[in-house]
Chain A
Amino acid sequence: MRYKKIITDFFILMALTTNISFITSPNSYELVVTVAANLAATILKVGEGRVLSTEMLASSLVADLHLIPALFLYHMGDPQEAIGLAQGALAANVISVIISIIETIISAFTEEEE
């Protein structure tokens, strides 16, 4: 069992699930947790030199750049705009999860080859 992969995948999924829960029921704490999970996922993806690592890091950065402004907008009195940005981040997070699945499949094949 690869613990590093468990932690990375945990945060990637956590970023997606918290993002969805914020969109369905907008809440100040929920948004902070979403941003925290997204940032953790981004940090964990830094230096992951595998096949689709660049795409994964890029999608994570996109989500961060949507969620950080959303956090400030939400607390500055524009929750509608914040939700809009969180929806944008959701798209990036979905892509991130898909890339992660593809990456896992490719890694499994590569390991089998070796």
Chain B
Amino acid sequence: MRRRLRKRIKPKKRELKLIEQYERRLIEALKEFRIPLLMLHTAITVGTLGYMFLSGGDFINSFYMTIITIGTIGFGEIVAGSDTLYGRVFTSFLALMGIGVFTTSVTVIVRVFFKEDIIKLYRAIRMLREIEELEGHYIICGYDKTSAWLATLLKKRKIEFVVIDSREEAMKFLQEHNIKYFLIEEPHKRSVLQSAGIKRARGMIVNLGDDAKNIAVIVTARLMRPSKEEFYIYSFASTDGTADKLEELGANRALVPNKLLATRLAAYIFHTGSAFISDLFDRIAFGEETDIDILELKVEPGSPLVGKKLKDIDLRRALKVTVIAIRKSDGYLDVTVTGETTVEEGDTLIIFGQPKNLRKAQKILLEETHRVLEGER
């Protein structure tokens, strides 16, 4: 009865983690060393014991004699008793058996070492362990020229990322481009995304060059990280219609590369008279301008900014950043802010300034909000 019950409630077999799969592959590869090593070990033991019997227990010379015999060095009959009739018969048999065993074993060991790519497996395991330590990183699925540019930009901003690509040939480019973390695996598999640290990641970029593959990855990722506010998924799509579908399926934003490029070029054409400022905003928007940046700061309930006028806050003097616009909670964008403009709960301040000052402002204002809320409690 108990057995039947246990059978009925038998849990579903857990899918192995990628690191466990690699470890198993490494163990399987190591197993192939056993037979050649055992053969070599047997030959050395038989030889050593044989010479020990002949010499009356001289271990060190017997061991040495065995090694030089099976290793085809053959310096001579060093051990006492090896120059006798019995000794020569034994040496002949040991040489016949041992030389074959020695060469075969060494060949097999070298072949296994290179065929199974033990070093590659070991490196992959080490990399997976390092990935387990990452937090707030990004996952890039698919590595092509666009992903390579993206990787360069992320590196510039010191943002950690993990690349996943199923193509073996991608490995060459990943190593050439000095990509620290990468997995040569199918990105739509749960175990692969899990190993890339999806649970701790901030976002994901899906660029697999095929809408169907992109959908598979987005759906799997969204099932693992359902919240669109906590985990951002950006994807490429071939058409506007596909982009909409990808966004419905879980992507925060799906971009059509050709359209994006055309829009950017059109912006240059439309603003030929004000090329500098248009280019500046463009570069800020695309993260190319590292001296100046724009930050959106939401005014949460309890923030010390609520009800204050911009001239009273004076962020420009206090934190060296400027409020250039305010997005109201209903979506209206107020671009005519003055010192008299009052900040309301739910507003989003669009702040302009140097990246370090923006970060400082964000930190101070968030801390201040937190302190006010704590005080109220």
Contact = CB atoms under 8 A, between A and B. Distances in A.
A84 B217 CA distance: 61
Interface residues of B, number: 24
Nearest to A37: B45
Interface stretch (A15-23, A39-47, A93-101): A39-47
List the 10 shortest-distance A-B pairs measured between CB atoms, nearest first. A47-B31, A49-B27, A47-B30, A36-B45, A28-B57, A75-B59, A43-B37, A47-B27, A75-B60, A43-B38
Given A44-B38, A49-B27, 5 more contacts: A33-B49, A46-B34, A47-B31, A49-B24, A76-B60
Contacts of B24: 49
Interface of A: 28-29, 32-33, 36, 39-40, 43-44, 46-49, 71-72, 74-76, 113
B60 A43 contact: no
A62 B10 CA distance: 39
B57 A72 contact: no
Contact of B31 (A32, A39, A40, A46): A46
A29 B41 contact: no
Interface in B15-70: 23-24, 27-34, 37-38, 41-42, 45, 48-49, 52, 57-60
Contact of A71 (B29, B38, B59): B59
Interface string B363-376: 00000000000000
Given A28-B52, A29-B49, A39 B59 contact: no
Contacts of A32: 45, 48-49, 52, 59
Given A39-B41, A43-B41, A29 B28 contact: no
Contacts of A44: 34, 38
Interface in B162-190: none
A43 B39 CA distance: 11
Contact of B30 (A46, A74, A75): A46
B105 to A, nearest CB: 11
Contacts of A71: 59
Nearest to B46: A36
A75 B6 CA distance: 59
Contacts of B60: 72, 75-76
A68 to B, nearest CB: 11
A29 B53 CA distance: 9
Nearest to A47: B31
Interface in B118-157: none
A29 B52 contact: yes
A57 B29 CA distance: 16
Nearest to A27: B57
A46 B52 contact: no
Contacts of A75: 58-60
Contact of A46 (B6, B23, B33, B49): B33
24 contacts: A32-B45, A32-B48, A32-B52, A32-B59, A33-B49, A36-B41, A40-B42, A43-B34, A43-B37, A43-B38, A44-B38, A46-B31, A46-B34, A47-B27, A47-B28, A47-B30, A47-B31, A47-B33, A48-B27, A75-B59, A75-B60, A76-B60, A113-B6, A113-B10
A104 to B, nearest CB: 19
A33 B42 CA distance: 11
Contacts of A74: 59
Contacts of A113: 6, 10
Contacts of B59: 28, 32, 71, 74-75
A76 B24 CA distance: 43
A33 B45 CA distance: 8
Contacts of B27: 47-49
